[in-house]
Homo-oligomer: A and B are copies of this chain.
Amino acid sequence: MKIVSLLFLFISCSFSSIAQSTKGIEDSLKLRTVFDMALLNGQAYNWLDHLSNEIGPRLSGSSNAQRAVEYTKKELEKLGLDSVWLQPVMVPKWVRGAKEYAYVESTPGSTRDINITALGGSVATPNGGTKAEVLEVQGIEDLERYGEEQVKGKIVFYNRPMRADLINTFEAYGGCVDQRYSGAAEAAKYGAVGVIVRSLNLRLDDFPHTGTMSYGELPVSQRIPAAAISTNDAEYLSGLLKIQKDIKLYFKLNSEQFQDVLSYNVIGEITGSEFPEEIIVVGGHLDSWDLGDGSHDDGAGVVQSMEVLRLLKEIGLKPKRSIRVVLFMNEENGLRGGNKYAEVAKEKNENHIFALESDAGGFTPRGFSFEADDAQFAQITSWNELFKPYLIHQFDRGGSGADIGPLRGGTTVLAGLRPDSQRYFDHHHSDNDTFEHINKRELELGAATMTSLIYLVDKYGIKGIPVDREPKF
């Protein structure tokens, strides 16, 4: 009996290996086709060329953002998807106005210009600008130590740099972004008249990097202007303050917040042939900051997501599940698009089994990070081997993407593409985020990597969702 059992076990194992390996070969060939098509005849780079060079930066509420909506909808319509539509969403409209200006005055009449940019959401300075002494701090927690006595009437200068020893630069970003996001609201409570923040950039250069900030519950009358200065200027200013405490900084911001305006998420779908109610989303965000042209953040994610659906069509896939590309509006300063999409999905009682976002730059893809339960993560990592010929090794647990975050809950698996992160913050939210810094192959490899994952999710479904039920028809 024992021997029979063992024999049986042996036979079943062999059968299952054969079955697995046949499936494995089929999937492996499919992925090779996807990568070949992306690299030999990809569309992503051409789309991004148009988005970056013909349209340009796409801040929410701007006419460029509207042009991007129209352009991507038109391009999706050319792909022969089952449906393409716009999802209305009201978005904030913040406008930078005239270019900012700043200088440091060490003695009256002796000044040096500073590279500065208003943070998104900041109020303007008074008409004549703001000029005051500077208090350098290493973070919000320093404010309490200095107290109102030393903060009042000053410009607070947040200068905690991103940690260079962290391999994942997004982790370094996460360790500093509170200065930019909440620095002004906190400093205002101590009577500061303005805030400048060291740009969230690991490199020393002259580009100031913008990004969203919030005054929280602070009454309008107490809001103070907030801006970022370049890392080189942050180093300069910090050095100067070490030898002369009473220098003054002047800065002038001309920004203005308008009423919310109507904009759109752009959505395209291939409807599933077997389980059309199981929805798989792939997306990026269509809006960008108003500096540079938003090529890495997040033009790359937009065109890669569009390319996923094009490639799936191109390989002749008739997906079992419904696959949607969603180009979200207003990730940068409101997340209104992501929230709206999830809100509508909930209203319609839609079943999202999987969502993948690309919003970490168009660099060489290294893998994905997943928000998934243990069984789901085990299922997904069983596919890892298929990606290794393309030098994709990272299948980690971790954050996914801001726009798909509102879909979190239930059995929905969320995933984020993880490109190589070393160069990302050289470009992020600055005049240095331009098309010339996109490498065509890296962009295409990202699109192929995403397509491969979506192909597997469609084919095998996701654990926690009933995958073996009968087709509906």
Q: How far is the CA of A40 from the CA of B162 in the complex (A)?
A: 11
A420 to B164, CA, bound (A): 20
Which B residues touch A442, using CB under 8 A? Answer: 422-423
Name which residue of chain B comes closest to A166, CB basis: B39
A296 to chain B, nearest CB (A): 14
Closest to A169 in B: B441
Q: Contact: A40 with B441, CB < 8 Å?
A: no
Q: Whole-angstrom distance between the alpha carbons of A39 and B422 in the complex?
A: 12
Question: In the complex, which residue of chain B has the Cβ closest to the Cβ of A37?
Answer: B165
Cβ contact within 8 Å between A391 and B364: no
B422 touches A167 (CB 8 A): no
Which of the listed residues A165, A169, A203 has the most CB atoms from chain B within 10 Å of its own CB? A165
Decide: A35 and B167 in contact? CB cutoff 8 A.
yes
Each complex incorporates copies of this chain amounting to 2
C-alpha spacing A165/B34, complex, angstroms: 10
How many residues belonging to A are interface residues under a CB distance threshold of 8 Å?
26
Complex interface residues of chain A between 429 and 447 (CB less than 8 A to chain B): 439-442, 445
Interface residues of A in 161-213 (CB under 8 A from B): 164-165, 167, 169, 202-203
Please give me the residue from chain B that is nearest to A440 by CB atom. B203
The list of the 8 closest CB pairs from A to B, nearest first, reads: A393-B393, A39-B164, A422-B441, A36-B165, A39-B165, A422-B442, A364-B420, A423-B439
CA distance A439 to B423 in the complex (A): 7
Residue A366, interface by CB 8 Å: yes
Take A364-B420, A422-B364 as given contacts and tell me if A390 and B439 are in contact as well, using a CB distance cutoff of 8 Å: no
- Chain B residue numbers with a CB within 8 Å of A232 are none
With beta carbons under 8 angstroms apart, the residue of B40, B164, B393, B422 that contacts A165 is: B40
> Is A394 located at the chain interface by the 8 A CB criterion?
yes
List 19 extra interface pairs beyond A167-B390, A366-B391, CB under 8 A.
A35-B165, A35-B167, A39-B165, A40-B164, A40-B165, A167-B391, A169-B441, A202-B441, A203-B440, A364-B364, A364-B420, A391-B394, A420-B420, A422-B439, A422-B442, A422-B445, A423-B441, A423-B442, A426-B439
Interface status of A389 (Cβ within 8 A of chain B): yes
Q: Are A389 and B40 in contact (CB under 8 A)?
A: no
Task: Report if A167-B439 is in contact (Cβ < 8 Å); known contacts: A364-B420, A445-B422.
Answer: no
> Could you tell me the distance in whole angstroms from the C-beta of A302 to the nearest C-beta in chain B?
21
- Please measure, in the bound complex, the distance between the C-alpha atom of A323 and the C-alpha atom of B441, giving whole angstroms: 38
Residues of B within 8 A of A439 (CB): 422-423, 426
Determine how close the nearest CB of chain B comes to the CB of A434; give it in whole angstroms: 14
Query: Which residues from B are CB-within-8-Å of A420?
Result: 364, 420
A172 to chain B, nearest CB (A): 10
CB distance from A1 to the nearest CB of B (A): 23
Q: Find chain B residues with CB under 8 A from A35 CB.
A: 165, 167
A-B contact pairs, 17 of them (CB 8 A): A35-B167, A39-B164, A40-B164, A40-B165, A164-B441, A167-B389, A167-B445, A202-B441, A364-B420, A364-B422, A366-B391, A391-B394, A420-B420, A422-B439, A422-B442, A423-B441, A423-B442
